[in-house]
Amino acid sequence: MRRGIVVGLLTLSAATPATAEIAVMASGKILYIDTFSRSEERLVLYLTGGGEVTVPAEMVHNIVPNEIVEQEQADPRQVRLLPHLDDVIEASATRYGLDPHLVAAVILAESSGDTRAVSNKGAQGLMQLMPSTARELGVADALDPAQNVDGGSRYLRDMLDRHSGNLSLALAAYNAGPEAVRKYGGIPPYRETEDYVGRVLRTYERASEAVE
């Protein structure tokens, strides 16, 4: 990967336009962009604040709306992974004693912030709740952002408690189920789960470091 592509998590300022978008990279990084264009099998991403990068299309996992409400005194150090979901994430994270950045990182890995996402296995919404899990959590409408994030955050909290606060194991259990973690005595040797845990941790750690 070219160095110019690895620009990491960009901070937001009050000048960020409400029409901007978020490019979610396959690596788990996110880029704030004003717009993009396609040229054959490559995408040109026009970065918020100036500049552009050209990347292979397969390096971009998704591009989602960045529905930002401008604030006159925004903290320039603050990294908001999913600004349009700030209120929903903050409420659920506070309710279950979680870092909002962690909840946002899980959402990015699960659905790229798509409230209507449905997987081929039937998992639904922002935090990709299976119908049976949603019922257990009391989530009546898994495609409702507030209900979905509340249920997913509650489940993540439960996985953390079950695994004595070990975040890697909790994330593995969130992805593959707690029985798989118990069976293998750690992160299951599934490529999907290993990639998932790494992706969430990288996104979470970079967002956390940016505001220190």
Burial 116-151 (b: 16+ CB within 10 A, else e): ebeeeeebbbbbbbeeebbeebebeebbbbbbbbbb
Q: 113 with 172, same domain?
A: yes
Q: 71 with 88, same domain?
A: no
Residue that finishes a domain, picked among 43, 59, 75: 75
- The Cα–Cα gap between 63 and 141 comes to 25
Q: Which residue has the tokens 């709740």?
A: 129
- pLDDT computed for residue 98 by the predictor: 97
- pLDDT computed for residue 29 by the predictor: 66
Q: Which domain holds residue 123?
A: 83-210
Q: 109 with 23, same domain?
A: no
Residue that finishes a domain, picked among 75, 108, 129: 75
Torsions phi, psi of 55, nearest 5? -135, 155
CATH number of the domain that 196 lies in? 1.10.530.10
Q: 109 with 67, same domain?
A: no
- pLDDT computed for residue 55 by the predictor: 85
- The Cα–Cα gap between 105 and 55 comes to 22
Task: Choose, from 41, 52, 110, 136, the residue flagged as catalytic.
Answer: 110
110 belongs to the catalytic site: yes
CATH number of the domain that 45 lies in? 2.30.30.100
Q: 39 with 88, same domain?
A: no
* 132: Cα within 13 Å, side-chain hemisphere: 2
pLDDT in tens, the chain (212 residues): 332 333 333 323 323 333 467 777 766 667 778 888 887 788 888 877 667 788 888 888 777 766 433 333 334 334 467 888 989 999 999 999 999 999 999 998 898 888 989 988 999 999 999 999 999 999 999 999 999 999 999 999 999 999 999 999 999 999 999 999 999 999 999 999 998 999 899 888 877 765 55
Structural domain total, the chain: 2
| Count of beta carbons in the 10 Å neighbourhood of residue 208 | 14
Residue that finishes a domain, picked among 75, 110, 127: 75
Q: 53 with 125, same domain?
A: no
- pLDDT computed for residue 202 by the predictor: 86
Torsions phi, psi of 46, nearest 5? -95, 105
- pLDDT computed for residue 137 by the predictor: 96
Cβ 78 vs Cβ 13: under 8 Å: no
The pTM of this model reads 0.65
Q: 15 with 106, same domain?
A: no
- The Cα–Cα gap between 175 and 165 comes to 16
Q: 110 with 139, same domain?
A: yes
Q: 65 with 95, same domain?
A: no
